[in-house]
Amino acid sequence: MIKVKLVRSKIGCSPKQRQVLAALGLRRMQMVKSFEDNAAIRGMIAKVRHMVEVSE
């Protein structure tokens, strides 16, 4: 399992990045979600890596 935390605001990011954050379920700053560690989730995190913090 990995934990993903939104640490930067989605104001000013591209619409694609907003869609990725919505798909991850990250709506508010400092929101944390847990996911199984797989390639699909890792790819989504890679698209918004400058906005999120990942911990194992």
Per-residue pLDDT band for 56 (boundaries 50, 70, 90) equals confident
For the stretch 13-30, pLDDT in tens is 999 999 999 999 999 999
Residue 10 has pLDDT above 90, yes or no: yes
* Neighbouring residues of 10: CB distance < 8 A, sequence distance ≥ 6: 17, 18, 21, 51
User: Which class does domain 2-55 fall in?
Assistant: alpha beta
- Separation between Cα atoms, residue 24 and residue 18, nearest integer Å: 10
